[in-house]
Amino acid sequence: MGNSIQNICKGTCPKCNKGKIFEQNGLLYKLRMPKMHVNCEVCGYKFEKEPGYFYGAMYVSYMLTVGEAIMLYFILSYVLKFADNFQIFLIISVAMIGLSFFNMRISRTIWIHLFTS
């Protein structure tokens, strides 16, 4: 289990743990989404088992987003003592846009690892 968490963080193939799942990072300022390899470069494992396979990853991404927003809210209002709800809302919105690429990447990686034994 600890091992697979490590691999999720590194974004490596669930089969061989060597090949990278993503070809390149997304670039927010270019509005370029992270690009995935079709097959693992090392063992040839096909990451998208079937069309629509990553549909479920959207739920993972959604849960991550909600979790991050709640965490951020607590940090802003209780740790940094922001009192203005509108300000908090703005900061959270901007942070969520910034985190969306990260979330997409990590949710797909989690998804792939969840269904590969």
Q: Which residues bind Zn ion (CB under 5 A)?
A: 13, 15-16, 19, 40, 42-43, 45
Q: Which residue has the tokens 């995935």?
A: 36
CB of 41 to Zn ion, least distance (A): 7
Q: How near is the Cβ of 14 to Zn ion at its closest, in Å? A: 8
**Min. distance of Cβ 102 from Zn ion in angstroms?**
22
| Burial annotation 72-98 (CB, 10 A radius, 16+ → b, else e) | bbeebeeeeeeeeeeebeebbeeeeee
Nearer to Zn ion, 40 or 106 (CB): 40
